[in-house]
Chains A and B, each alone.
Chain A
Amino acid sequence: MNSRLYNSPAGKVFDIFNYVMLGILGILTVLPFLYIIGNSFATEAEITERSFFLIPKVFSFSAYEYIFSSSTIFRSIGVSIFITVAGTLVNLFFTLTMAYPLSRSDFWGRNVMMNMVIFSMLFGGGMIPTYLVIRGLGLLDSYWALMLPGAISAFNLIVVKNFFQQMPPGLEEAARIDGCSDLGVLWRIVLPLSKPVIATFALFYAVGHWNNFFSALLYISDSDKWPLQVMLRQIVLLSQASVGDMANMDPNFVQPPEQSIKMAVIVVGTIPILLVYPFLQKHFAKGVMLGSIKG
């Protein structure tokens, strides 16, 4: 990096401007989450009294005590982790194996298949037919029902395919001349060079799995198999029921959980997945392509 150019007066001004703007942006965007974290450590009384605060006057761990006293929550966290990891591997397997052939211009049938993918992206049968198919396959109440129906996101597939297409064709030619089969090219050349792409979509799929509650609600009746988000949604929605709906809920019995518990559940449900990106960041390093081109 040639420092000469970055230190010109225009460059400096731009730099300062950039750092400040991005800094402010960072603060503004993280604010709501700090609010949630702050609220999760506050007492119910304070939450009612102060409409918005980041640091509670009185600290209370009761919300977290409540959550972690229940073994079902732990169990559901375990389920969520399992589904996220296993599900993402399934996603990557299906997506990458399909994206590569589609990126090859000498793949006969490519256009037909792309049409099929795009059409399916925009047209769908809906909840009930999909449910009936899952049921027909005997997948109800199994973890497969949470991993297979969303195995490929057409959007992700198309973008990954395009990233593959942008690879310099000379590379594959060279490998092929060296006697590499198609599988070999995929495994030894294309995938290693696509680390940023794979990391990105692993992240997207992982987040999708982690946040998904609807599939579990529909397909899984065994509450032992419920992921964290189902629990979370129940707790959060419970207190979201509008005052009018209160007439429908038994007035004396169902107590909406305290706001602080709601917030704590959100914190517990979100922090694990938030930490995935920082871990993956090393794969986004620049110049990953560099070495291979020279060779």
Chain B
Amino acid sequence: MGQKTGFKKGALLLSASLVLSTILGACSMDKAGSGTAAGGTDEITIMLPNFEAENPPENSPVIQKLEELTKVDVNLQWVPSSSYEDKFNITLASGKLPQIMVVLGKSPSFINAARTGAFWELGPYLKDYPNLSQMNEIITNNASIDGKTYGIYRARALGRNGVTIRKDWLENLGLEEPKTIDEFYNVLKAFTKDDPDGNGKDDTYGLVASKFTGPWDNMQVWFGAPNKWGDDGSGGLIPAHETPEYMEALKFFRQIYSEGLVNKDFAVMDATKLPDPFVNGQAGVMVDVADNAQRMDQKILDKDPNATGRVDVLQAMEGPKGLRDMPTSGYSGLIAISKSSVKTEEDLKKVLSFLDQLNEPELQALLYNGLEGKQYEKKEDYIVPSTEKLALRDLQGLNQILMFVPEDRTLRVQQTPVREKVAQVQKANEEIVIANPGEPLISDVYAQKGPQLDNIINDARIKYIVGQIDEKGFEDAVALWKNNGGDDYVKEVNELYAALK
């Protein structure tokens, strides 16, 4: 009895609070809409992520030099990288956007914000700037939304993927660097069965892979499979997993797994553990980003400074359709300019001019390497970075606003043979990368069901490789994919593709 009246009264109180809060809430929702500093000529505010635990102090000599060179008062709003996405969304919701924002990915909230006018469309203005006008076409396309450029991309190596391999094992077994898929297979086999480290124990194997699907995606392209979307023969697009080359690749993977040439536990191994078997001398091959080679080399040397010349890096393996490499999208995030605090075209041009300047050699070196004598020592034709923590702190994170357009103009550290090879491989890859024609397309179906659809195919792929399902099982998965939205997805992508052509 007390409960019932209590409940009714409770409901009244509740509704009263809710009404009150709605009213108050709506009021506090009022978006000021004004940016930070007035105008934007002499002062520029930038929101950017910090991947370290400490921010550079405001009086960092590097920042001061930056202001000196650009004649702009630079105000940096640092956000810890682990909460960047959340902070970004909150900033969007608050309506008070800084003039420049680093956008870490084309998240739905960014896409929507761009489409509804939060950021300037930069395309028409870029031709006026010496550096920005040289933006790479493929990457610009990849970074676009509905064909429009809403930010300057932050370039990353396009041809970044390669094969890291134990050079000394090859030498021990008298093998040449593999160039074709068949040679690759033979090397994997030899690494597994022929005791490449010569210790008399059967404790080595060929390829190390982890939960991360990268290696399989990379190797598939060797076989002729497209990069996510391929030509269906009549001007449209089909998904990679429906091509016969994809299945060919899968059969190869299944074979090398069943022969023990890949680590048994790859499907459950965490991606961060990937380097360990390689560095510990259990695995001989890694298919991943090429710069991993220099990292592996460094780790091996840390363990044993005499262990030089152990690591080499190769491009892709030649398959039936020639030499093909899986690219990255060529960029990591964008630098966007908000309309709310950069109000006129004139202001926009000043901001663009600032950004253009950041691509000059002197500024690239400043924001990446720091100041000579403080963050690095200059030698003949290379630099030696300082290890002094306090000095490094003045520089930390400033590289986040670098765009590297049209190219990387920073100062090089001492080149080891491996580093040089990595640079070579990445450059050479640019000739053989297979672009993903669907990269710039933004699909609603994918937004709704994308990850689930991806899981259907990826899980089926893994299950096929380890032998849990057979070819029929994989086909069933593809049919499931189609039924659960795959067909709609393909249709929509083709429509978007046609519209953009």
By a beta-carbon cutoff of 8 Å, the part of chain A in contact with chain B is 44-45, 48-49, 51, 66, 69-70, 72, 109-116, 119, 127-129, 131-133, 135-136, 214, 217-218, 221, 223, 230-235, 237-240, 242-244, 246-254
By a beta-carbon cutoff of 8 Å, the part of chain B in contact with chain A is 2-3, 5-7, 9-11, 13-14, 17, 25, 28-29, 50-55, 77-83, 86-87, 89-90, 93-94, 104-105, 156-157, 160, 210, 212, 214, 271-272, 274-276, 279-280, 288-289, 291-292, 299, 302-303, 328, 332-333, 368, 389, 399, 413
User: Which residue of B51, B279, B413 contacts A249 across the interface (Cβ within 8 Å)?
Assistant: B51
Whether A136 pairs with B28 at a CB distance below 8 angstroms is yes
Whether A115 pairs with B80 at a CB distance below 8 angstroms is no
Main secondary structure of the interface of B (DSSP, over half): helix
Q: Which residues of B contact A237 (CB under 8 A)?
A: 81-82
Taken together as a complex, chains A and B put the C-alpha atoms of A238 and B87 apart, in Å, by 18
CB distance from A246 to the nearest CB of B (A): 6
Residue of A nearest to B413 (CB): A252
Most chain A beta carbons < 10 A, residue from B86, B105, B292: B86
Q: Which residues of A contact B6 (CB under 8 A)?
A: 110-112, 114-115
Whether B9 pairs with A49 at a CB distance below 8 angstroms is no
Q: Which residues of B contact A111 (CB under 8 A)?
A: 2-3, 5-7, 9-10
Whether A250 pairs with B399 at a CB distance below 8 angstroms is yes
User: Which residue of B10, B81, B160, B389 contacts A247 across the interface (Cβ within 8 Å)?
Assistant: B160
CB distance from A63 to the nearest CB of B (A): 14
CB distance from B396 to the nearest CB of A (A): 9
Residue of B nearest to A127 (CB): B86
Can you list the 4 inter-chain pairs with the closest CB atoms, starting with the nearest?
A111-B6, A115-B10, A217-B83, A234-B53
CB distance from B269 to the nearest CB of A (A): 11
Whether A239 pairs with B29 at a CB distance below 8 angstroms is no
CB distance from B292 to the nearest CB of A (A): 8
Residue of A nearest to B3 (CB): A111
Whether B28 pairs with A132 at a CB distance below 8 angstroms is yes
Whether B389 pairs with A45 at a CB distance below 8 angstroms is no
Q: Which residues of A contact B272 (CB under 8 A)?
A: 239-240, 242-243
Whether A244 pairs with B271 at a CB distance below 8 angstroms is yes
Main secondary structure of the interface of A (DSSP, over half): helix
Q: Which residues of B contact A254 (CB under 8 A)?
A: 51-52
Whether B212 pairs with A242 at a CB distance below 8 angstroms is yes
| Given A223-B54, A239-B272, A254-B51: A48 touches B299 (CB 8 Å cut-off) | yes
Taken together as a complex, chains A and B put the C-alpha atoms of A246 and B293 apart, in Å, by 13
Instruction: Supply 6 A–B pairs (Cβ within 8 Å), ascending by A.
Output: A48-B275, A49-B303, A66-B389, A110-B6, A112-B10, A135-B94
Residue of B nearest to A251 (CB): B291
Taken together as a complex, chains A and B put the C-alpha atoms of A109 and B6 apart, in Å, by 7
Whether A131 pairs with B90 at a CB distance below 8 angstroms is yes
User: Which residue of A116, A129, A217, A223 contacts B87 across the interface (Cβ within 8 Å)?
Assistant: A217
| Given A48-B276, A223-B54, A234-B52: A243 touches B302 (CB 8 Å cut-off) | no
Taken together as a complex, chains A and B put the C-alpha atoms of A136 and B358 apart, in Å, by 37
Whether A234 pairs with B10 at a CB distance below 8 angstroms is no
User: Which residue of B55, B93, B279, B291 contacts A48 across the interface (Cβ within 8 Å)?
Assistant: B279
Whether A218 pairs with B212 at a CB distance below 8 angstroms is no
Taken together as a complex, chains A and B put the C-alpha atoms of A235 and B157 apart, in Å, by 25
Whether A243 pairs with B288 at a CB distance below 8 angstroms is yes
Q: Which residues of B contact A119 (CB under 8 A)?
A: 14
Whether A218 pairs with B90 at a CB distance below 8 angstroms is yes
Whether A246 pairs with B14 at a CB distance below 8 angstroms is no
Q: Which residues of B contact A72 (CB under 8 A)?
A: 53-54
Residue of B nearest to A45 (CB): B303
Whether A247 pairs with B289 at a CB distance below 8 angstroms is yes
Whether A246 pairs with B289 at a CB distance below 8 angstroms is yes
| Given A49-B303, A135-B94: A243 touches B7 (CB 8 Å cut-off) | no
| Given A48-B280, A243-B210, A243-B212: A251 touches B52 (CB 8 Å cut-off) | no
Taken together as a complex, chains A and B put the C-alpha atoms of A113 and B14 apart, in Å, by 10
Taken together as a complex, chains A and B put the C-alpha atoms of A240 and B273 apart, in Å, by 10
Q: Which residues of B contact A231 (CB under 8 A)?
A: 53-54
Taken together as a complex, chains A and B put the C-alpha atoms of A217 and B83 apart, in Å, by 6
CB distance from A254 to the nearest CB of B (A): 5
Taken together as a complex, chains A and B put the C-alpha atoms of A145 and B86 apart, in Å, by 17
Whether B332 pairs with A248 at a CB distance below 8 angstroms is yes
Q: Which residues of B contact A128 (CB under 8 A)?
A: 89-90, 93
Q: Which residues of A contact B79 (CB under 8 A)?
A: 221
CB distance from A122 to the nearest CB of B (A): 13
Q: Which residues of B contact A218 (CB under 8 A)?
A: 83, 86-87, 90
Q: Which residues of B contact A221 (CB under 8 A)?
A: 77-79
